[in-house]
Amino acid sequence: MSQNQSSSNNTDFDMIAIADVAAQMALDVRGKFPQDTINSVIPLPRRLGRSQQPSAIDQEGMRLWNASQTKKDFDDFDPAVITEASENYKTVWRVCLRVFWSTPNEILSLREGLRYRPTPPASVKASHVVFSPKFSRLFAELVVHPCWEGRSNLFIMAIQYTVKVRVDSRTSWPNADILHFLSCPALKALSRWSFRLEEVAISLHEMHRQAREAQTEAPPSEFSNFLYFLGEIASMSPSSDYKQTYLGRPALPVTTKDLKILTTAVTHFDWEEVDWAETPEEVFDSFKVKGGFLAISTLRMTDN
């Protein structure tokens, strides 16, 4: 973008509340969610024919599922019962479908190495399925921010990096499969180098710094700049109170603290294209006024 174009755009933005511009970008980046594709995003349970028998792997998977806390919490959740937690959780679903064409269950999933971890007081029982009202609010506010460009994989990477820095996870990151769309030499180098994290005994964030400094032909991407800024904030609040596995699979515990850290980073990072001076909360409020919530059937929320 040329300097004149940038100046012109900034003048235009000055005439309109930045939060309104950001909210409209979130609405426009993908457009309305196509209702006829709902089954591909929230698949119906697969039914076996009468002559079919589940495989040994399927049977073991069902045994683990039926014995899990997640299964119990799903069974206890009735979407038709209105509570503060359930209403905020429904909002997260609507926002994720509208902006990302994805669901919160896909974002915080074992496939992505992430799991929601409630942090209630010792005497309070909390669901591991339905997010707390505060967690839901922060999650929804972050989703609508235009810095993700409507791409859930960027949002997922930011959550992963936040938690990995906070708990000082020494496993390799990021997955090379998600880097093909990011022309970032620093993150590609980090992906290669991080397999040696335990061997070299340094943190992921420190290795990211070294990968950034090692690039001589092309500078790190803006997203690498943002992740490094995010890591500086996350490293000031270290903690490892919760397990990083679930049912034997890697699962970083995503807490309200992590979303607060990510919100701080999104708010204060110096974005190149536009100075997003408004907080994610202000963008979310404008998004809501503009009718950004997608209507979905609550009967499908526990199918995924």
Specify if 194 maps to a domain: yes
Antiparallel, parallel or unpaired: β 114-116 and 252-254: parallel
Cβ–Cβ under 8 Å, residues 236 and 115: no
The reply to whether 131 falls in a domain is: yes
Specify the pLDDT at position 15. 41
- The β-bridge partners of 250 are 245
Look up the domain containing 143 and give its range: 3-39+69-300
Return the SS3 of 274: coil
Residue 7 in any domain: the answer is yes
Check residue 154 and give its pLDDT. Answer: 95
Domain count, the chain: 1
Q: Is residue 51 part of a domain?
A: no
Please give the DSSP secondary-structure letter assigned to residue 116: E
* pLDDT given at position 70: 86
CB atoms within 10 A of CB 258: 27
Q: Does residue 294 fall inside a structural domain?
A: yes
52: in domain: no
Asked whether the beta carbons of 169 and 163 are under 8 A apart, the reply is: yes
Angle between helices 152-167 and 222-234 (to 10 degrees): 30
- How many whole angstroms separate alpha carbon 193 and alpha carbon 187? 10
pLDDT at 1 (0 to 100): 32
Residue 115 is inside which H or E element, if any? strand 114-116
pLDDT of residue 180: 62
In this structure, the strands spanning 245-246 and 249-250 are antiparallel
Residue 281 lies in a domain: yes
Which pTM does this prediction carry?
Answer: 0.86
Residue by residue, pLDDT tens for the chain (304 residues) are 333 334 444 544 454 578 888 888 888 888 777 777 776 676 666 666 666 777 888 888 889 888 888 889 989 988 888 999 999 999 999 999 999 999 999 999 999 999 999 998 888 889 999 999 999 999 999 999 999 999 999 999 999 999 999 999 999 999 877 766 678 999 999 999 999 988 888 999 999 999 999 998 899 999 999 999 999 999 999 988 889 998 888 999 999 999 999 999 999 999 887 667 678 999 999 998 888 775 555 435 544 4
Closest listed residue to residue 262, CA positions, set 84, 173, 141, 95: 141
Task: Report if residue 284 sits inside a domain.
Answer: yes
Can you give the pLDDT at residue 96? 94
pLDDT at 294: 58
Closest CA to 243 of 163, 173, 172: 163
The H-or-E segment that residue 132 falls in is none
Give the pLDDT score at 45. Answer: 64
Residue 148 to residue 259: CA distance in whole angstroms: 15
